[in-house]
Amino acid sequence: MSAPDFTPRFRVAVTALGVVSPLGVDAVENLASLRSGRDAVTPVSAFDVSKCRAKTAGQVRAEWTFAGADPRWHRASHFTAAAMREAQRGDEAFAPELAVIGTTSGGMSFGERYHRAQIARERPPERAVWLANYMPQKAVLDGLAACGWAAPMQIIANACASGTNAVGHAFQLVRAGLHRAVLCGGYDTISELVFVGFDSLQAATPEKVRPFDKNRTGLVLGEGAAMLTLESWDSAERRGAPILAEVTGYGIATDNYHLTQPHPSGIGPRRAMERALADARRTVGDIDYINAHGTATTFNDATEGLAIARLFGARVPVSSTKSMMGHSLGAAGAIEAAFTVLALRDGFLPPNINYAEPDPAFALDVVANEARATRLKRALSNSFGFGGTNASLVLEAA
């Protein structure tokens, strides 16, 4: 496959990042958990799951809050503000001209409480707070205010590809010279409606989550937030900013096959990966690692596994970090992009835990159960969602 004949106007640097996830409340904790292969999936504590098949999720520890948060904030604002503040501390001179953030549910649990109060004809004084903190842009506004940043925002809600779409869109804006510096990422929190919905679809598992394993039985949900600061390479170099990694490619594809199931041929994931490689002017032989979408559902892993195997063979190591923390929906692509940056920077492959038996339907080099130390130059990060939304990023070592 040949790359298209064009030269991007500006190289795009990642100068800082911040992460809140079930694996930790900052990048240091997340890095340690990734290296150790920590299983952060625990029994759900936020609401009653006694009538559900699945009873576990990846949850940010309940006692943690963002220092200085408004007591009226939704938990989404805590995640978002903390990830933004960590990114800000990693590059104190960074000033975003725009924020591009992916999410799927906003402050859904506040929306649930408001709806129940309406149905019950109750008028608790918290109703106004619930409604004001429910909107998807509220968490972003709170995070920007906590950092003292004044920037317009764009919210992307495109199922489970949202976080990757946000990073990819920000990358395109900086590369094209439309913006010098863009804050991008994603956030989502556990909510009862979403949890019960996935349980009703029988997409969630009551067992361990086992991406790419022959005996996988479904996903577990997760939550969290990740933010990355993107800036034109020349601008970052001029001001002496730290450069953690470079974004070089972004590819998207929509297969429009089914409301919740991907096309069984894997054509959507394959085209997204091919387009990301072409956008980066790279070939399959240039990629050293793939952070897979890897939800551990029967259909997703079959189609993604088939697409990776047909495009890359079994040469490239593959892992799904969802095996450790669950599927954080709109935040997943941003969190996994941040994890991929950490892997590139620190020279290791995050493990795919709970992996026991290969699926004979596709041949992959799965990073099974333990992290691998290795030098990485280039990696691919995948996100695929309901409705056939497919997105891939190419990230390269600085």
Asked whether the predicted pLDDT for residue 33 surpasses 90, the reply is yes
Domain count, the chain: 1
CB 360 within 8 A of CB 282: no
- pLDDT tens-digit profile of 83-101? 999 999 999 999 999 999 9
- Confidence band of 7 (pLDDT split at 50, 70, 90): low
Residue 308's contacts (CB-CB under 8 Å, 6 or more residues apart) are: 269, 273, 290, 292, 316, 318, 362, 364
Structure token pair of residue 293: 């979408």
| Burial category of 72 from C-beta neighbours within 10 Å (exposed 0-12, middle 13-18, buried 19 and up) | middle
Overall average pLDDT of the 97-115 stretch? 95
pLDDT in tens, 286-308: 999 999 999 999 999 999 999 99
* Contacting residues for 115 by C-beta, under 8 A, at least 6 apart: none
Q: Quick one: pLDDT band at residue 3, thresholds 50, 70, 90?
A: very low
The answer to whether residue 290 is domain-embedded is yes
Q: Is residue 103 part of a domain?
A: yes
Report if residue 151 sits inside a domain.
Answer: yes
Whether the CB-CB separation of 47 and 189 falls below 8 Å is answered with no
- Domain presence at residue 2: no
Question: How far does Cα 364 stand from its chain's mean position?
Answer: 22
The full DSSP string for 61-125 is -TT---TT--TT--HHHHHHHHHHHHHHHHSTT---SEEEEE-SSSSHHHHHHHHHHHHTT---T
- Sorted by sequence, the CB contacts under 8 Å of residue 96 that are 6+ apart come out as 149, 151, 181, 182, 183, 229
What is the pLDDT of the chain when averaged over all its residues? 95
Q: Are 74 and 139 in contact (CB under 8 A)?
A: yes
In a domain, 8, yes or no: no
Q: State how far the Cα of 371 lies from the Cα of 192, in Å rounded to an integer.
A: 33
pTM for the model stands at 0.96
Q: How far apart are CA 207 and CA 70, in angstroms?
A: 37
* pLDDT at position 328 over 80: yes
In our burial notation (b when 16+ CB lie closer than 10 A, e otherwise), range 89-111 reads: ebbeebbbbbbbbbbbbbbbbbb
> Helices in the chain by DSSP H: which ranges?
27-36, 75-90, 108-119, 127-132, 136-147, 162-175, 192-200, 233-238, 267-280, 298-312, 322-325, 332-346
Q: Determine, yes or no, domain membership for 361.
A: yes
| CATH classification of the domain holding 142 | 3.40.47.10
DSSP 8-class letter at 4:
P
Q: Report the percentage of the chain scoring pLDDT > 90.
A: 92
Rounded Cα gap, residues 332 and 293, in angstroms = 8
Question: Cα–Cα distance between 48 and 205 in angstroms, integer?
Answer: 16
Q: Is residue 242 part of a domain?
A: yes
What average pLDDT does range 254-274 have in this prediction? Answer: 83
- Which residue do the tokens 């906590």 mark? 146
Q: Examine the pLDDT at 259 and tell me if it is beyond 70.
A: no
- What whole-number distance in Å separates Cα of residue 155 and Cα of residue 203? 26
Domain membership of residue 6 (yes or no) is: no
Residue 169 lies in domain = 14-397
Q: What average pLDDT does this structure show over 162-190?
A: 98
* Res. 4: pLDDT tops 50: no
Neighbouring residues of 234: CB distance < 8 A, sequence distance ≥ 6: 10, 11
Q: What is residue 388's predicted lDDT score, i.e. its pLDDT?
A: 82
Q: Which two three-digit tokens encode residue 22? A: 């079930």
All residues at 6 or more sequence positions from 257 whose CB lies less than 8 Å from its CB, including other chains: 263, 264, 268, 388
Residue 373 pLDDT > 60: yes
Buried b (16+ CB within 10 A) or exposed e, 243-280: bbbbbbbbbbbbbebeeebbbeebbbbbbbbbbbbbbb
Q: How far is 182 from 165, CA to CA, in rounded Å?
A: 14
User: What is the set of active-site residues?
Assistant: 160, 293, 327
Is-contact 334 358, C-beta < 8 A? Answer: no
Would you say residue 260 has pLDDT above 90? no
Mean pLDDT of 258-268: 76
